[in-house]
Amino acid sequence: MVSDFSCLGVLFDLDGVLVDSIAAVERQWRIWAERHGLDPKYVVHTAHGHRTIETVRLLMPDADAAYEASTVERAELADTAGLVRKQCTSELIGRLPEDRWAIVTSGTRLLATTRLRSVDVSVAKGGDGAAAMRFRVLVGQATR
């Protein structure tokens, strides 16, 4: 097992790497699919790896995508049942310099933060009193 290596930074996926959120994600997409008369299996399959608004646009091109996406996100934010911190998440993140890691996810910063906090992973640091994010959520772009 490698314990030390050198790199400029580390990018982590959130779901399935740092947090197992599959149960909540799939549950909320199934509920949304049923509400709209869509095939839940197809919706869940389509949703994986896409931003919520992109999934809505793919599945319901004539819908108000922003409204539907916010509905799904609110439901996912409230649904923390079954979220599980992956083994060694806290230890690994705690050992990395704060400015040398980021989460790359199709979800929003709020959803990523909520999921991490719900499995007891610290995402804020002290300082001037404002809770500063310990990470950047990169959606659709890479930055150095």
What does the pLDDT read at residue 7? 82
Residue-averaged pLDDT of the chain: 83
Does 39 score more than 90 pLDDT? Answer: yes
DSSP state of 50: S
Position 4 in a domain: no
Position 3 in a domain: no
Q: Tell whether 109 and 132 lie within a shared domain.
A: yes
What does the pLDDT read at residue 54? 95
What does the pLDDT read at residue 122? 74
What does the pLDDT read at residue 135? 41
Q: Is the Cβ–Cβ distance between 73 and 111 less than 8 Å? A: yes
Position 1 in a domain: no
The structural domain count of the chain equals 2
Position 125 in a domain: yes
The last residue of a domain, from among 45, 63, 78 = 78
Annotated active-site residue 15? The verdict is yes
Residue 84 structure tokens: 């599980």
Position 50 in a domain: yes
Q: Tell whether 68 and 88 lie within a shared domain.
A: no
Calculate mean pLDDT across residues 3-25: 87
Exactly one of 13, 39, 64, 99 is catalytic; which is it? 13
Q: Tell whether 96 and 55 lie within a shared domain.
A: no
Please state, as a whole number, how many other Cβ atoms lie within 10 Å of the Cβ of residue 35: 10
Exactly one of 4, 15, 39, 99 is catalytic; which is it? 15
Note down the domain range covering 41.
22-78
Residues 6+ apart with CB under 8 A from 75: 28, 31, 32
Q: Tell whether 43 and 15 lie within a shared domain.
A: no
Strand-pairing partners, residue 125, are: 132
Q: Tell whether 121 and 100 lie within a shared domain.
A: yes
Maximum mean pLDDT: which of 16-25, 26-35, 120-129: 26-35
Does 40 score more than 90 pLDDT? Answer: yes
The last residue of a domain, from among 33, 52, 78 = 78
What does the pLDDT read at residue 25? 95
Q: Tell whether 60 and 73 lie within a shared domain.
A: yes
